[in-house]
């Protein structure tokens, strides 16, 4: 069922959130608390509760029974709150330094109470503000390698892994990705959203049978490859960061899927930021892409050498094969993500905020070409350095 609600579920108000924080003794007795709903994402309510005397604060996140971005006409399972809580707890086993601490959860109210990270910035906003976030890609490379290796059959007992697969069955949220990332943008579908000036470019995508065949193959991988517990929505809006710290939030789309999906979403969102900038300011993003992959490979290899339980892990060439499959799939997934963020339902501010309009349109045209090239030519993009070359070539073509 899309939406089984328990009888005591109700969306919280700001004053309910304060009452709940008090009932759970999350602050010292008699603290003066304030609360604001600060959610600006597509799906959930996010309450920040603060002790006005010492500034201590927590976040109460509550799933709504529908997608906030569309409205009540799009029902959405509350079970995503359970998935998010359990994914945060699972990721914290491997990389506690990169995820918010969970203080409490309640499945019937669909809430997760967690560490407030508002001393950090959303990475997308920071990058749009030309901030470098020097450790972002080191941290994300390690986050990806450890969370993905240790939840895969390479690093986890196969029986326990299958128990986890069961726990993270997430059909409704996967369906959103299947539709919004892998289907709707490639057809004339009502969820699509693009400027009229892009009509011809979009029709080129809808009519490109070679592209559509490759997207079908990537969708099939997303549907069937239960390789590891992926975050499932790892764009730069799901990352808090500053120059020293990085935290990955919002794993409500988590499920057992292809490792390359998380890697590809990171690549895509860094690329989207790169192309939104003037060429002389793009390099830092290409460096972040390279570092993400280099650190991912280093950490994944270290984990494989020290902790792999798969007997074939010692066979020469197997690790290299796994890494090259991950990279190829990541390139293809990145292409799909770039296309859907340009013409699908859920856009990114990196592109939408470009002014003036004619510049925005020409960068979106570049995004569509770049996304299509990455999907179709993913086998020939074999090194993260190639992203820069591809972007330059596509812009010139
Ligand atoms: C209806 S949800 C739209 C998008 O927001 C989420 O963050 C995911 O990226 C999803 O595709
Ligand atoms: Mg999200």
- Alpha-carbon span 16 to 9, nearest angstrom: 12
Distance 236 CA to ligand 2 centre (A): 10
The per-residue pLDDT for range 38-56, each reduced to its tens digit, is 998 888 999 999 999 999 9
CA nearest ligand 1 atom 4, residue: 346
The reply to whether ligand 1 has any atom less than 6 angstroms from the CB of 230 is no
| Mutate-to-test residue for ligand 1 from 39, 40, 180, 338, highest number of ligand atoms within 8 A of CB | 180
DSSP string for 96-159: GGGSPPEEEEETTTTEEEEE--TTSEEHHHHHHTT---TTHHHHHHHHHHHHHHTTSTTTS-HH
What pLDDT sits at residue 377? 97
What pLDDT sits at residue 397? 85
The reply to whether ligand 1 has any atom less than 6 angstroms from the CB of 299 is no
What pLDDT sits at residue 53? 95
Beta strands, E only, 146-270: 228-230, 239-241, 246-248, 255-257
Q: pTM of the entire structure?
A: 0.97
- Alpha-carbon span 308 to 304, nearest angstrom: 5
What pLDDT sits at residue 1? 38
The reply to whether ligand 1 has any atom less than 6 angstroms from the CB of 180 is yes
Residue 241 vs residues 135, 236, 246: alpha-carbon distances, Å: 9, 10, 4
List, for the chain, all residue ranges whose pLDDT scores fall below the cut of 70: 1-5
The reply to whether ligand 1 has any atom less than 6 angstroms from the CB of 233 is yes
Kindly report whether the peptide bond that precedes residue 356 is cis, defined as omega within 30 degrees of 0.
yes
Angle, vertex CA 296, rays to CA 294 and CA 300, nearest 5? 120
Q: What angle, rounded to 10 degrees, do the helices at 136-149 and 283-307 form? A: 30
What pLDDT sits at residue 286? 98
- Alpha-carbon span 161 to 156, nearest angstrom: 6
The per-residue pLDDT for range 238-283, each reduced to its tens digit, is 999 999 999 999 999 999 999 999 999 999 999 999 999 999 999 9
Give every CB contact of residue 41 below 8 A, 6+ residues apart in sequence.
68, 237, 250
Residue 115 corresponds to which tokens in the numbers above?
């560490």
The reply to whether ligand 1 has any atom less than 6 angstroms from the CB of 319 is no
């Amino acid at each position: 069922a899309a939406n089984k609600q328990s009888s005591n579920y109700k969306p919280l108000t700001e004053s309910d959130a304060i009452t709940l924080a008090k009932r759970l003794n999350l602050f010292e007795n008699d603290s003066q608390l304030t609360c604001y709903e600060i959610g600006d994402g597509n799906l959930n309510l996010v309450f920040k509760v603060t002790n006005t005397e010492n500034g201590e604060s927590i976040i109460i996140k509550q799933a709504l029974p529908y997608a906030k971005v569309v409205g009540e006409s799009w029902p959405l399972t509350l079970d995503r709150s359970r998935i998010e809580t359990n994914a945060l707890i699972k990721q914290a086993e491997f990389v506690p330094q990169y995820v918010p601490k969970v203080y409490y959860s309640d499945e019937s109210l669909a809430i997760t109470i967690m560490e407030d990270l508002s001393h950090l910035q959303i990475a997308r906003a920071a990058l749009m503000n030309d901030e470098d976030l020097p450790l972002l890609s080191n941290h994300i490379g390690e986050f990806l390698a450890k969370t993905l290796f240790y939840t895969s059959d390479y690093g986890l007992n196969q029986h326990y892994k299958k128990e986890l697969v069961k726990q993270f069955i997430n059909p409704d949220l996967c369906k959103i990705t299947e539709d919004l990332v892998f289907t709707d943008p490639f057809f004339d579908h009502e969820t699509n959203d693009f400027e009229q000036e892009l009509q011809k470019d979009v029709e080129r995508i809808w009519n490109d049978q070679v592209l559509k065949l490759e997207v079908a193959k990537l969708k099939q991988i997303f549907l069937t490859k239960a390789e590891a517990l992926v975050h499932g929505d790892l764009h730069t809006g799901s990352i808090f960061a500053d120059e020293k710290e990085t935290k990955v939030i919002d794993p409500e789309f988590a499920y057992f899927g292809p490792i390359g999906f998380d890697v590809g979403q990171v690549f895509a969102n860094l690329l989207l930021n790169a192309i939104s900038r003037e060429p002389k300011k793009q390099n830092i993003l290409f460096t972040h892409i390279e570092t993400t992959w280099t650190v991912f490979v280093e950490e994944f290899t270290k984990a494989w050498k020290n902790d792999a339980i798969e007997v074939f892990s010692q066979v020469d060439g197997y690790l290299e094969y796994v890494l090259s499959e991950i990279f190829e799939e990541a390139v293809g997934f990145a292409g799909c993500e770039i296309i859907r963020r340009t013409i699908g339902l859920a856009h990114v501010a990196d592109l939408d905020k470009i002014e003036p309009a004619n510049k925005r349109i020409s960068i979106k045209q570049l995004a569509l070409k770049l996304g299509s090239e990455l999907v179709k030519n993913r086998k020939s993009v074999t090194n993260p350095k190639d992203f820069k070359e591809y972007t330059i070539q596509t812009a010139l073509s």
